[in-house]
Amino acid sequence: MCPAPFMRDPDPESSYDVGDIVEVFCDHEKGEERIRGWLKGIVVQVDPKMVAVQFRSNVFLTDGWMVPDHILWYAHTSPHIRNTKKGSKSGSGKAGVVEY
């Protein structure tokens, strides 16, 4: 099978793998309240351009609709997705990241 075409070599620093824990900036529920902030999720699918992240809590599209399967898609280069710090423990003083 022919590999996927690309204009430049992929950046290995920004690649994601299935099973990675990432942080995503999105609309989500915290308790009874809907907020916008960083939320931890797990990468469930990766293709050459997009990354699918699944969450344990309800997440919402920007127009207000709840996503029934709790999965949001992001481009590899999006500023709204980032790797968690390797070797960091939950509650290590990282303010603003919701963990359920």
User: Is residue 62 within 8 Å of 71, Cβ to Cβ?
Assistant: no
Alpha-carbon gap, residue 34 to 68, rounded angstroms: 15
What tens digit of pLDDT does each residue of 58-74 get?
Answer: 999 988 898 999 999 99
Amino acid at 60: F
- Could you read off the pLDDT of 10-54 as tens digits, one per residue? 555 558 899 999 999 999 998 889 999 999 999 999 998 899 999
pTM of the model: 0.72
Tell which residue, 84, 70, 86, 75, has the closest CA to residue 38. 84
Residue whose structure tokens are 């997009």: 50
Res 7: pLDDT: 65
* Residue type at position 67: V
Angle at 86 between CA 34 and CA 45, to 5 degrees: 60
